[in-house]
Amino acid sequence: MPLMPDASTQQADPEVLQKTYDFESNPPGFIRDLKVSDAGLQGILDFLSTTVRPEAAKASPKDFYDTTILDRLEK
């Protein structure tokens, strides 16, 4: 279903709206232990790089999280 621009959003580019809809309707999976997954973050970076932040293509998921505290809680 193609999305059309409307007054409820400031975004008028139909391609960006469609990509946003596709991303939000199939969000990256969350891991039960509250840790982020590289695959989930990569999906977000891919989305951002093709829509509003092209520089996100150069980023690595590991640049955005630290699981030190969660790792300690597991012990």
Indicate whether 5 pLDDT > 60: no
The verdict on residue 41 lying in a domain is yes
DSSP state of 29: P
The verdict on residue 62 lying in a domain is yes
**Parent domain of 31:** 14-74
The verdict on residue 5 lying in a domain is no
The verdict on residue 37 lying in a domain is yes
Burial annotation 24-33 (CB, 10 A radius, 16+ → b, else e): eeeeeeeeee
The verdict on residue 64 lying in a domain is yes
Domain count, the chain: 1
Confidence at 28, pLDDT banded by 50, 70, 90: low
- pTM for the whole thing? 0.56
Q: Region 23-43: what's the mean pLDDT?
A: 76
